[in-house]
Amino acid sequence: MLNSTDIQFLLVIRESASLLATAHKLGLTASAVTQRLQQLERKLGIQLVDRSARQLQFTDEGELLCQRGVGIIDEIAGLMETLHARRHGMVGRLAINAPFGFGRRYVASVVAAFRQRYPDVDIRMTLSDQPLVASSDRSDLVIHIGELRSSNLISHYIAPNRRLLCASPAFIERYGLPAHPQDLATLPTIALHENNEDVTLWQLRSRCTTVNIRMQPILISNDGEVIRQWAVEGLGVIMCSEWDVADVLAEGKLLPLLPDWRLPDANVVALTHQGAGLPERTRAFMRMMQEQFQPQAPWRQR
């Protein structure tokens, strides 16, 4: 199979007008140049250079290959320049996957600001309760919240986020405050189903103690706003992200439970398929996301 290196080698021979001059230009011996030319001719099954004449002459086939080859080399060079510009410039397509609630509340506004700043970047944002699964079509960026289990994706930190246990004042008045994680097993609970996680296993830690509670939720939804509303209406205890309930906690519509116990953190991260060589548009969008939560995430400013 002919490649661009073969064409470039043949073009150097034509420019040099002799195998000896070609050897000097390439830093090779004359015999090495001859052997490489012979290998190329054997690979193609045709003679490219007539070496029996006094001066080096190309056969018709060799001349044709050189003439067409110049265009091919120029096209490859142009393609590489375009790729370089796309990597280091703000052009091209940016495909983003994000969770429903967080995507609507925080990612959408960054997308709008990014588009205004870089109008030559076409953006497609997909919201899903399973953004990791939805990203199977090679999205450029996946916004993920929570633990990242086995994955070949590269994680980039965006913002801090804790998980909390919450219930409404009316629910607490009816059932009382749980004093220990084990008490949760006797209370109605509501679960958020996302990222194919085990939503019925709640793990809490206090100092050196870890308690795992297997819940039996009375309600399950794949939409965080729905389970938050159910909790506000007093239907059960929810485990939720602080970004999602900071406003209703500040308003007193929900109250935190078991403050001495901590759930695993669920930090906000951006996931990419590679660490190095990311297009500038992808890196710039991640920087804009990170800047939105500096110096403090909005859910911690209340």
Using the predicted structure, report yes or no on whether residue 194 has a pLDDT greater than 70: yes
| 278 and 155 belong to one structural domain | yes
Average pLDDT of span 65-80: 78
| 43 and 169 belong to one structural domain | no
- CB contact at 8 A, 163 and 264: yes
Predicted local confidence at residue 86, as pLDDT? 62
What does the block give as tokens for 99?
Answer: 């969770």
| H or E segment and range at residue 30 | helix 30-44
| 99 and 69 belong to one structural domain | no
Using the predicted structure, report yes or no on whether residue 256 has a pLDDT greater than 90: yes
Lowest-confidence segment of 12-16, 173-177, 232-236, 286-290 by average pLDDT? 12-16
The answer to whether residue 8 is domain-embedded is: yes
| 142 and 285 belong to one structural domain | yes
- CB contact at 8 A, 263 and 162: yes
Q: Which residue, 64, 87, 110, sits at the end of a domain?
A: 87
| 133 and 122 belong to one structural domain | yes
Task: Label residue 158 exposed, middle or buried (CB < 10 Å: 0-12, 13-18, 19+).
Answer: buried
- Ramachandran class of 76: left when φ > 0, alpha when ψ lies in -120 to 50, beta otherwise: alpha
Predicted local confidence at residue 287, as pLDDT? 94
The answer to whether residue 18 is domain-embedded is: yes
**Strand 237-241 vs strand 163-167: parallel, antiparallel, or unpaired?**
antiparallel
| Other beta carbons less than 10 A from residue 115's beta carbon | 14
Using the predicted structure, report yes or no on whether residue 74 has a pLDDT greater than 80: no
| 11 and 126 belong to one structural domain | no
Structural domain including 274 reads: 90-160+267-300
Radius of gyration of the chain (CA): 31
The answer to whether residue 225 is domain-embedded is: yes
Q: Which residue, 38, 67, 87, sits at the end of a domain?
A: 87
Domain count, the chain: 3
Average pLDDT of span 20-29: 84
First to last CA, the chain: 65
The answer to whether residue 80 is domain-embedded is: yes
Nearest-10 Cα torsion for 38, 42, 43, 48: 60
The better pLDDT of the pair 78, 218 is held by 218
Label each residue of 38-107 as H, E or C. HHHHHHHCCCCEECCCCCCEECHHHHHHHHHHHHHHHHHHHHHHHHHHHHHCCCEEEEEEEEHHHHHHHH
| 55 and 68 belong to one structural domain | yes
CA atoms within 13 A on the CB side of 174: 12
Report percent pLDDT > 70 for the chain. Answer: 91
| H or E segment and range at residue 297 | none
The answer to whether residue 101 is domain-embedded is: yes
Cα–Cα distance for residue pair 166/240, rounded to 1 Å: 8
Tokens 């801090």 locate to 160
| 106 and 154 belong to one structural domain | yes
| 8 and 83 belong to one structural domain | yes
Cα–Cα distance for residue pair 91/81, rounded to 1 Å: 13
* pTM of the predicted structure, to 2 decimals: 0.69
What does the block give as tokens for 63?
Answer: 């001349």
E-assigned strand segments in the chain: 49-50, 57-58, 92-99, 121-128, 141-145, 154-159, 163-167, 189-192, 201-206, 209-214, 219-221, 237-241, 255-256, 268-272
Q: Which residue, 41, 69, 87, sits at the end of a domain?
A: 87
- Amino acid (one-letter) located at 21: A
- Ramachandran class of 18: left when φ > 0, alpha when ψ lies in -120 to 50, beta otherwise: beta
The answer to whether residue 46 is domain-embedded is: yes
- Here the CATH number for the domain that contains residue 18 is 1.10.10.10
Report percent pLDDT > 90 for the chain. Answer: 48
| 205 and 231 belong to one structural domain | yes
| 185 and 138 belong to one structural domain | no
- Here the CATH number for the domain that contains residue 183 is 3.40.190.290
Handedness of CA 207, 211, 216, 222 (dihedral sign): positive
- Here the CATH number for the domain that contains residue 146 is 3.40.190.10
Cα–Cα distance for residue pair 174/229, rounded to 1 Å: 18
